[in-house]
Each structure stands twice: as structure tokens, then as C-alpha cells.
Structure 1
Amino acid sequence: MFDIGFSEMAIIAVVGLVVLGPERLPKVARQLGQWLGKLQRYVSDVKSDISRQMELEELRKLQGEMKDAASGIEDSFRSSVSEARSEFDSIASSVEGGSGQGASAEPATDWDRVYAARRARQKIADRRQERARALGQKRPKRP
């Protein structure tokens, strides 16, 4: 740390022996050793605190990136849902308009409602098949 050689330490020890005397030198050396130990522990604690703070900052940055990614995924999901909803609405409006009845007219009986629901389901299945053919996908037939 201070780059003190053996000869320099020997000179310091001789001066300390002359100044302090042989009775107080061991006590002072012990006290000096304790202070150096405390200083080393303090330096290591400061280093570990700095490294923890750096890791915490990195984790905060990562958390922010994850939140941004999650919000992007959520936005794309919401847009996909709104597109699908608009597609279903257009299918429903075409089914209602193509059934031969007015858009505001209610089916006369329960059977008319059942048949209208079946026609709507069949129209959706037909559109799925058309889309699969357009994309070149093969879909298994349902029994």
C-alpha cells in the first residue's frame, strides 16, 4: 500500500524503540496494528458498498428495460386484439346483412336464431379455410 521496504521498517522500529522505550513499544505496536486492521476493514466495507450500489444500478436499468419491453408487448397484444375484434365485428355485420333479413330485424322464432348462429359459425369456418388456402397452410378437416 505505501511501498515500505524492510530496511525502512527496521529504521522506523529503531526510532520507535529509542523514542518510546522498550516498555511502551509493544503496546503502541499492538494499538497501531489494531488501527491498521480497522482501516483495512473500513476500506473493504466501502469497496463492497460501492460494488453493491453499482449492481443495484445495473438491476434498476434492467428493470426499466423489462418494463419497456413488457409495455411494448402489451401494446402489440392490445392492437392485435382490437384488429381481431374489428374482424369479428365485420364478420358479424356481414352475417347479419347477408342473412336476407334487415339488420334491425330480430329472428322470428328460436329456431331462426339457432339457424342464424349455425350460419355465422359456418361462415367463420369458411373464412378460416380461405385464409389457410391463401397462406398455403393445410388444415385438417374436422369430422
Structure 2
Amino acid sequence: MFGIGGGELFFIIMVVLMLFGSDRIPEIARTLGKGMKQLKNATNEIKSEINKSADMNDIKRTFTDLGSDVNRTGGNITTDINQEINKVKEDIEDASGPIKRIR
């Protein structure tokens, strides 16, 4: 366990008992347990924030791509409509050319 032998573990327990006494060891264990729990909760919150941030970046990227596609498509449609309008103008000028000369 953790690279510590049985004799070494026993020695550490004895030193802790002598330093803190048997009355304070449960209190120290509770405090360490609460600290570990808070650390675990903080770690989980950080992980969830990172995941949310990654999801938001994906959503933003999707909207940006969608917006550029819409702009590109809108530009193509505008170009096509302008070409058709110019063709109709040319046809009208071709048809009205002889009529204008007759007057």
C-alpha cells in the first residue's frame, strides 16, 4: 500500500498518536475528510465548467459556420437575380430598339 511496509505504517501511526493524542485524531480525520470532499467537489465543478465551455465553443462555431453559409448562399442568390434582371433588360432593349426607331 503506497510503497510503505507494515512496520513503517505502524511507526507512522505511533508518531501521530504521540503528537496529537488519541482525543484529537478523530477530529483531524474528520477535518481531512471534509477537506478531501471539498477538493473533490471543486474538481468536479471545474470539470463541468470546462465541458460547458467546450460545448458553448462548439455551438458558437456551428452558428458561425451557419451564418457564413447563409451569407454565401445569399450572395449567390443576389448574383443570380441580378444576372436575370440584366438579361431581361437586354431583352427589353432589344425588343424596344426597333419600336424606338419607328417613332
The answer to whether residue 65 in structure 2 is matched with residue 65 in structure 1 is: yes
Structure 1 residues 14 and 69, CA gap change in structure 2 (3 angstroms):
farther
The one-letter code sitting in structure 2 at the alignment partner of 1:95 is A
Give the match for residue 42 of structure 1. Answer: 42
Q: Residue by residue, what CA displacement relative to the aligned partner does 1:96-127 show, whole Å, maximum 9, x if unpaired?
A: 235xx316x6xxxxxxxxxxxxxxxxxxxxxx
1:102 maps to 2:83: no
Residue matched to 1:129: none
1:42 CA drift (Å): 0.7
1:1-143 pair list within 5 angstroms: 4=2, 11=10, 12-98=12-98, 101-102=99-100
Bigger-Rg structure (1/2): 1
Relative contact order, higher structure (CA 8 A, sep 6+):
1
Partner letter of residue 67 of structure 1?
G
Give distance in 1, aligned partners of 2:15 and 2:44. Answer: 31
Alpha-carbon displacement from aligned partner over 1:33-83 (angstroms, at most 9, x marks no partner):
000000011111111112222222222222222222111101100101101
Identity across matched positions, percent: 16
Unaligned runs of 5+ in 1: 106-143
The residue identity in structure 2 corresponding to 1:49 is: E
Unaligned 5+ residue runs, structure 2? Answer: none
In the aligned structure 1, how far is the partner of 2:57 from the partner of 2:31? 39
Aligned Cα RMSD in Å? 2.6
DSSP-derived class of the 1:102 partner: helix
- Larger helix share, 1 or 2: 2
Residue 85 of structure 1, CA deviation: 0.7
Aligned length: 99
Q: Taking structure 1 as reference, are residues 48 and 14 closer, same or farther at Cα in structure 2, changes over 3 Å only?
A: farther
Report the residue type matching 1:50 in the other structure.
I
For the residues of structure 2 that align with 1:38 and 1:7, how far apart are their CA atoms? Answer: 30
